[in-house]
Structure 1
């Protein structure tokens, strides 16, 4: 077998992938039928025929079922395959647009549901968007203002995760300031 030939996942890895998929499918079905709030961990576990502790082991926070993606490794590989000197935003644009096209082609209902369910977590962004839209003379739901606000809030969430992963030993405020500087200029290429 060639050194760079793909290896088949082990039986254990395949079972874990099946369990994750069953949990995710049960959550989507429950949310579609009864709403996200009714899709409790216990109900998801029962529908997936696993224990609540198994759901928690695979998805420590219930919302992770919606916010994580089984194709993360594929996205990473596709991003690595992009030209090294390409602008980071253009690389991400190419990879993410292809991922969305594929998701709508292969799982249109799940993709729509994920989009709908994530709307419930955006109230802060909507409030800030309305203020920024008014300041810039745009409509209260202008796409560009929504995207900008969501990007800032997403970057701040990622910075908080980074801070937590590094034992919370540094002051968070300078990290948040550094994050906003990164958004202003983008990551520099070497």
Structure 2
């Protein structure tokens, strides 16, 4: 059972959530995105396994060593994005009296529509590769703890006044990560009635907040 979306705060939003990043990070992001777009185009045309780092570097007009400065592995060019710091910043801006999941509902209500407006095709391409290429899926699982789950654990523990290694904050961060992944793959597969992924994410978070009643 889902509750209604939290009230939007349009006056507090920038046109692009990535504008919240420092200038230096935005410059690095521009290069990262160019490399990623070339990589995804090559993966689409000749397959993931048929594409080499050298080919991606040549298409992006960089050296292979530059590629590896931005992406530690070929798999990382699929799974990496820049939204975790933005999510953490938005979370810290939420009213302190909100429970963690309610604060996250507001964060994703703001962030996801903006992500999808600019990056929906990119996100879909990445999800398809993650679901179909075993090495990418394995790398995604390996990187989750230091990525989105790690970011969630940090801000949840901070909000609750807990230690960074708090087990309850860790468990909640994994639970949130799980419902986010469930929403993304269900949306990609078209297996649910929700056409808007933001509404599907909110449904899943509300279900989690309610104690997962079945």
| TM-score normalised to structure 2 length | 0.50
Aligned residues: 136
Unmatched 5+ stretches in structure 1 = 1-5, 126-152, 163-177
Specify which structure has the bigger relative contact order, considering alpha-carbon pairs within 8 angstroms and separated by 6 or more residues: 2
Work out whether residues 35 and 57 of structure 2, in 8 Å CA contact, stay in contact via their aligned partners in 1.
yes
Unmatched 5+ stretches in structure 2 = 1-19, 151-166, 177-214
Return the alpha-carbon distance in structure 2 between the equivalents of residues 76 and 25 of structure 1.
25
Which residue is equivalent to 2:161? Answer: none
Return the alpha-carbon distance in structure 1 between the equivalents of residues 28 and 141 of structure 2.
29
Return the alpha-carbon distance in structure 2 between the equivalents of residues 55 and 63 of structure 1.
12
Deviation (angstroms), 1:121: 5.4
Which residue is equivalent to 1:9? Answer: 23
| TM-score normalised to structure 1 length | 0.55
Deviation (angstroms), 1:157: 5.7
* Equivalent residues in 2 for 1:116-127, closer than 5 Å: 116-120=128-132
Deviation (angstroms), 1:50: 0.6
Deviation (angstroms), 1:42: 1.3
Which residue is equivalent to 2:83? Answer: 71
* Candidates 73, 79, 83, aligned match of 1:61: 73
* Equivalent residues in 2 for 1:106-185, closer than 5 Å: 106-120=118-132, 158=145, 182-183=171-172
Return the alpha-carbon distance in structure 2 between the equivalents of residues 38 and 112 of structure 1.
20
Deviation (angstroms), 1:103: 2.3
